[in-house]
């Protein structure tokens, strides 16, 4: 696999592919709002039949957007290469709060630290009616 000086090269190049090859990596960005990503999660899926994630890594940043952090993006690149990823699935936006329901705040409630996401569709970014 050719490398590039831009650590995001590999995920961005692979993401648009329509290939159905596996293993696949699902890359998701999370943040307190739709502008700043403080967390990235990379999940490895071994086959189309698998319902469970085979492996998963999470990275966090407090000072720089994880999408722009060269160290984190290099680690993501190394992780997907080690796992033999042939396909990347990646949303084109931040898809929600970095805190985990049931772990960081009670199940069924909105995160008290990220009011931006309360009553918001994570896929469109639009506010939902109450």
pLDDT tens-digit map of 76-126: 999 999 999 998 999 889 999 999 999 999 999 999 999 999 999 988 888
Is the per-residue pLDDT at 75 higher than 60? yes
Q: According to DSSP H, which parts of the chain are helical?
A: 9-14, 70-82
Q: Is 123 inside a domain boundary? A: no
Q: Is 124 inside a domain boundary? A: no
Number of compact structural domains in the chain: 1
Residue 39: which domain range? 9-99
pLDDT band at residue 16 using 50, 70 and 90 as cut-offs: very low
Contact 44, 25 (CB under 8 A): yes
Q: Is 63 inside a domain boundary? A: yes
- E strand or H helix at 9: helix 9-14
Give CA–CA dist 78/55, Å, rounded. 14
Q: Which residue's entry shows tokens 């998701």?
A: 28
Q: Is 106 inside a domain boundary? A: no
């Amino acid at each position: 696999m050719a490398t590039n000086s831009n650590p995001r090269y590999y995920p961005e190049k692979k993401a648009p592919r329509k290939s159905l090859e596996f293993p696949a990596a699902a890359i998701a960005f999370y943040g307190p709002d739709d502008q700043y990503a403080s967390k990235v999660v990379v999940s490895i899926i071994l086959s189309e039949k698998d319902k469970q994630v085979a492996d998963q890594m999470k990275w966090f940043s407090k000072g720089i957007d994880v999408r722009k952090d060269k160290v984190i993006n290099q680690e993501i690149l190394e992780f997907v290469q080690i796992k033999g990823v042939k396909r990347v699935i990646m949303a084109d936006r931040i898809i929600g709060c970095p805190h985990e329901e049931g772990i960081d705040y009670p199940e069924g409630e909105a995160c008290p630290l990220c009011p931006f996401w309360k009553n918001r569709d994570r896929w469109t970014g639009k506010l939902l009616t109450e």
